[in-house]
């Protein structure tokens, strides 16, 4: 091997080493940039990650409870406007007050866990409200107390008992335990007004 070819090889190796070294800062910066983007992505998806930690069953239960609260608020407002008896009007007011508070507490829990709750009643409860809007006087009072007072509160009471038994989330269990006596009180009052169990 000649001195000239050896010098040429050393020269080429030096050029390659310089080229590699020149790419290091760019590669490091690119990796750093990717890391920053990943961090931002994780931060933006924080709510989604939290929702992922809440089981699908618990998320569904939260949404069902929210629907029950929304329905009671809407029909309670109707009762305040349309009921002919003072006790039915008062029952409607209590429904709006208590279920607004219950919904607000549930929204607080759901927000911490990144769970989105419905903001209006579902089709079934909307249909009930529409049917009630068409009624007036004593007929309204009887139908409202039968549907929103008795039937819906029985279902909500059973649902909260199920949540208390089956929910994996401790906050949701505690919410159900706290809300159950309120719903039981509503059911008892409705039974007293209608004379039905």
CATH number at residue 177: 1.20.1260.10
Return the number of other C-beta atoms located less than 10 Å from residue 101's C-beta.
13
pLDDT per position as a tens digit, 55-75: 999 999 999 999 999 999 999
Whether residues 171 and 95 share a domain: the answer is yes
**Band (196; pLDDT cuts 50, 70, 90):** confident
40, 84: one domain: no
Q: Are residues 97 and 118 in the same domain?
A: yes
Q: Are residues 118 and 25 in the same domain?
A: no
C-alpha span between 159 and 177 (Å, rounded): 11
| Predicted confidence (pLDDT) at residue 146 exceeds the cutoff of 80 | yes
Q: How many domains does the chain have?
A: 2
**With bands split at pLDDT 50, 70 and 90, how would you rate the model's confidence at 3?**
very low
Encoded tokens for 41: 């992505």
Do residue 26 and residue 117 come from a single domain? no
Question: Is residue 100 one of the residues assigned to a domain?
Answer: yes
Residue 83 makes CB contacts below 8 A (sequence gap 6+) with 89, 91, 92, 140, 141, 144
* pLDDT tens string 6-18: 444 444 444 444 4
Residues 40 and 110 in one domain: no
Q: How far is the C-alpha of 163 from the C-alpha of 176, rounded, in Å?
A: 6
**What is the mean predicted confidence (pLDDT) over 100-121?**
97
Residues 34 and 86 in one domain: no
Q: What is the mean pLDDT of residues 91-95?
A: 98
Structure tokens at 139: 């007929």
Of residues 125 and 37, more confidence is placed in 125
How far, in Å, CA of 125 to CA of 1, rounded?
A: 92
In a domain, 49, yes or no: no
Q: With 60 as the cut, is the pLDDT of residue 188 above it?
A: yes
Residue given tokens 């008896």 in the structure block = 85
**What pLDDT score was predicted for residue 110?**
98
For the beta carbon of residue 195, count every other beta carbon within 10 angstroms.
7
91 and 138 housed in the same domain: yes
- Distance of alpha carbon 149 from alpha carbon 143, whole angstroms: 9
- pTM for this entry: 0.74
pLDDT computed for residue 7 by the predictor: 43
| Residue 25 in domain | yes
Average pLDDT, integer, range 126-151: 96
Same domain, 8 and 27: yes
Is the pLDDT at 48 greater than 50? The verdict is no
The residue behind tokens 């209590």 is 94
Are 127 and 80 within one domain?
yes
Q: Which domain, by its residues, includes 20?
A: 1-44
Query: If DSSP codes are grouped into helix, strand and coil, which group holds residue 94?
Result: helix
63 with 159, same domain: the answer is yes
Range name among 24-28, 79-83, 140-144, 150-154 with the lowest pLDDT average = 24-28
pLDDT in the model for residue 157: 98
102 and 160 within one domain: yes
Range with lowest mean pLDDT among 36-40, 75-79, 170-174: 36-40
Residue with tokens 């809300």: 179
Between 192 and 50, the higher pLDDT residue: 192
């Amino acid at each position: 091997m000649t001195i000239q070819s050896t010098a040429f090889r050393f020269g080429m190796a030096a050029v390659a080493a310089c080229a590699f070294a020149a790419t290091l800062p760019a590669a490091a910066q690119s990796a750093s940039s990717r890391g920053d983007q990943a961090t931002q992505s994780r931060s933006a998806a924080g709510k989604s990650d939290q929702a992922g930690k809440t089981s699908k069953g618990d998320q569904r239960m939260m949404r069902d409870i929210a629907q029950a609260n929304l329905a009671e608020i809407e029909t309670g407002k109707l009762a305040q406007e349309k009921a002919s008896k003072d006790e039915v009007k008062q029952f409607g007011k209590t429904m709006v007050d208590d279920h607004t508070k219950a919904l607000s507490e549930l929204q607080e829990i759901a927000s911490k866990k990144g769970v989105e709750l419905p903001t209006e009643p579902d089709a079934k409860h909307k249909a009930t409200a529409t049917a009630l809007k068409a009624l007036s006087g004593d007929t309204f009072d009887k139908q409202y107390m039968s549907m929103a007072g008795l039937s819906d509160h029985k279902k909500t009471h059973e649902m909260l008992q199920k949540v208390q038994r089956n929910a994996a989330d401790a906050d949701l269990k505690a919410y159900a335990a706290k809300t159950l006596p309120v719903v039981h009180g509503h059911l008892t009052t409705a039974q007293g007004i209608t004379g039905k169990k």
